[in-house]
A and B are shown apart, each in its own frame.
Chain A
Amino acid sequence: MAQPKRKNNQLGYKRTEAIIGWVMMAPALLLLLLFLLYPFFTGFYFSFTNQRLISPNPTEFVGMRNFNRLLTMQFFTLEPERDETTGEVLRDEDGNISYPRLRNFTRDNPDYPQLDGLREFMSWQQGENRLVLLASDPVFIKSLLNIFYFVMIVAPLQGGLALVLAMMVNQKLQGINVFRMIYFMPVVISIVVVSILWQFIYDGQNGLLNSVLSALTFGNFEPVDWLGNPNTAMNSIIAMSIWQAVGFHMVIWLSGLQTIPFVLYEAAEVNGANAWQKFRFVTWPGLRSTAVLVLILITIQAFGLFAQIDVMTRGGPLDSTQTPVFQAVIRGFEQQDIADGSAISVVLFVMVLTISLIQRYLTREK
């Protein structure tokens, strides 16, 4: 008789536990649904509507319109203007070929409905003709190109430098902890603070960088307005971003390095391996999974480039530092166009996801 009773008790006990389990899970689950999953999915929903932050009109479903507006691109060939009688190409006083104005084709021209509302993004000379790449949203396309450039440079460079630093602070030297601590220090500082500080370093007149370069070249260096020049602005932001974040990934590499058994190095030494061979055949194979993690972390962080832009350049000069997150904030928050901002976020998420999956696939364990 005792047996079933105990079983009953145990069942009751299990049930109470399960209820407590749910109760302990509930707050986190509720917050997770409300502040992570709900915004994530409504972001997708908003991107197919004309939602605004505050609007007297009801929200309407607009299909792919937001995405078309962001991503439409088209080539168009401009033919030179010709003399109506002779058919000769017309030139201006400087001898440049004169073309009809682009807006004749892109503004309410019934013969070219597919070009309506597009603007010039780039153009090339092709013999007498001019090949124009039109985009419905040149600023957004520029921001995509910029962020790809940023990621392509930052991911390998920051990952590689972080590995070099990790190996430097993994040496068995006295006081090595002090260096570990210093290299990591910028990570704890706000990127906003770092950006303001580096604005001073990059200043075109009194900037520290110009002074250092001028001293190193005995005054032969022409000062550069690092953030004010479209050719140097993005690279300057890249250098600063690496300076701030490299310690973070150094630490992740370091924990990977410390999992490699020391006997492997001893064995390599016995077999006469030099430093490079030790790295190539012992260190690197042991870091495979760490490498995937570091690359994915850097890529995801890099795609979110925002604070540096907001503080230092606001997308300029000449849109050379525009980024998708900066554009999403400008449109979603400053212009209160939630739909447009959400559509940019969706494009960004699809890109981050794709690239993470590709990286994971390329670096998979064979």
Chain B
Amino acid sequence: MSQAREVTQTQKNLMIFTRYLLLILVASIFILPLIFMIMSSFKPDLQLLRDSSSIRAILPVGDLSFDNYASAFERVPIMRFIGNSLFVTATTVILSIVVNSMAAFSLAIIEWRGKGIILSVIIATLIIPADVIVIPMLMLVNQLPWIGASGIEFGWLNTYHVQIIPFIVDPLSIFLFYTYFKDLPTELVEAARIDGASIFQIFYRVIMPISGPVLATVAILKFLPMWNAYLWPLMVVQREELRPVMVGLQYFFQLDTLWGEIMAYLTIITVPVLLFYLSLQRAFIESIASTGIKG
């Protein structure tokens, strides 16, 4: 043990250098494919294919232009798809926060009969994988009624709401809100009661304003799968004007595969998410870590 303390300054520096070297090597595995994607999106197809067999694949060299972006915009209604995804994602995130936080507040703070059973049902549903219910869900939304312009119609296929409503309720979100509310000091609620606040006022004037961390967690956990949604919209939305960004990728794989345009499209739909992540990095990582409570 005394040996460890006798290391010289050079040895120490060497050790720190090795640690950083390892960290950087691993980092390059994660980051190089993304750099490749972005660099390729500026290159014409021929050069892109030629470059991919050398270090040039990840360098901004050769004939760089925005041509791929221009033709990708021509091929696909990109703005429409982004708009659809933004609308569906934002609506779901907001409704999800409202519905799940209300439910969790009711379970955590208010006394009423039967909430023990409901809480255990919610915890039990945590183990149902989404992939397992997707086929019966398709059957369900194909039959559900909706009040449209021409009275009651049946079938939710090819709508916005079929992309939103099934994903509002989320057992994990309820559970995260529930544990957060339970950990708040009870004096908060009691003091507000004595001041004559109604229970609903306590919810949105007292509890919600101090629930920033869990709000961020739930929003992020909901945002990611909604923006990245693929299988569900693929099944339930056939009309082009309602499609989200991930399904839009199909347009690039018909007849000839134009890699430059694909890379441009991938960059367009990925970079906003990456920027969002980089700016809220700490909240993203903490929100994932908090799913650890699940066990």
Q: Which residues of A contact B (CB under 8 A)?
A: 14, 16-18, 20-22, 24-25, 27-29, 31-32, 34-40, 42-43, 46, 51, 53-54, 165, 168-169, 171, 173, 176-177, 179-193, 196-198, 200-201, 203, 206-208, 210-211, 243, 247-248, 251-252, 254-256, 269-270, 272, 289-290, 292-293, 296-297, 300, 303-304, 306-307, 310, 325, 328-329, 332-333, 338, 341-342, 345-346, 348-349, 352-353, 356
Contacts and interface: CB of A to CB of B under 8 A. Distances in A.
Given A196-B266, A208-B36, A53 B289 contact: no
Contact of A27 (B36, B103, B112, B270): B103
A28 B111 contact: no
Given A189-B274, A306-B131, 7 more contacts: A21-B106, A37-B121, A42-B139, A190-B246, A210-B53, A310-B231, A352-B127
A38 B140 contact: yes
Interface string B121-132: 110010111111
B250 to A, nearest CB: 10
Interface in B154-184: 165-169, 171, 174
A361 to B, nearest CB: 14
A148 B29 CA distance: 27
Contact of A53 (B23, B52, B139, B281): B139
Interface of B: 1, 16, 19-20, 22-23, 26-27, 29-31, 33-34, 36-37, 40, 49-50, 52-54, 57, 99-100, 102-103, 105-107, 110-113, 115, 118, 121-122, 125, 127-140, 142, 165-169, 171, 174, 198-200, 203, 224, 227-228, 230-231, 235, 246, 249, 259, 262, 266, 269-270, 273-274, 277-278, 281, 284-285, 288-289, 291-292, 294-295
Contacts, number: 274
Contacts of B140: 34-35, 38-39, 42
Given A35-B165, A36-B171, A333-B235, A28 B103 contact: yes
A40 B124 CA distance: 12
Contacts of A292: 295
Nearest to A357: B127
A188 B277 contact: yes
- Grouping DSSP codes into helix (H, G, I), strand (E, B) and loop, the B interface class, with mixed when no group exceeds half, is helix
B137 A35 contact: yes
13 contacts: A17-B199, A21-B199, A24-B103, A46-B139, A185-B30, A188-B273, A198-B33, A201-B36, A207-B52, A254-B289, A255-B292, A270-B1, A352-B127
A28 B103 CA distance: 6
Most B CB atoms within 10 A — which of A31, A248, A272? A31
B230 A192 contact: yes
Contact of B249 (A29, A171, A192, A297): A192
Contacts of B34: 185-186, 189, 197
B127 A304 contact: no
B227 to A, nearest CB: 7
A345 B274 contact: no
B276 to A, nearest CB: 8
A20 B100 CA distance: 15
A282 to B, nearest CB: 16
Given A43-B136, A168-B23, A293-B294, A36 B285 contact: no
A17 to B, nearest CB: 5
Contact of B106 (A25, A176, A196): A25
A48 B159 CA distance: 30
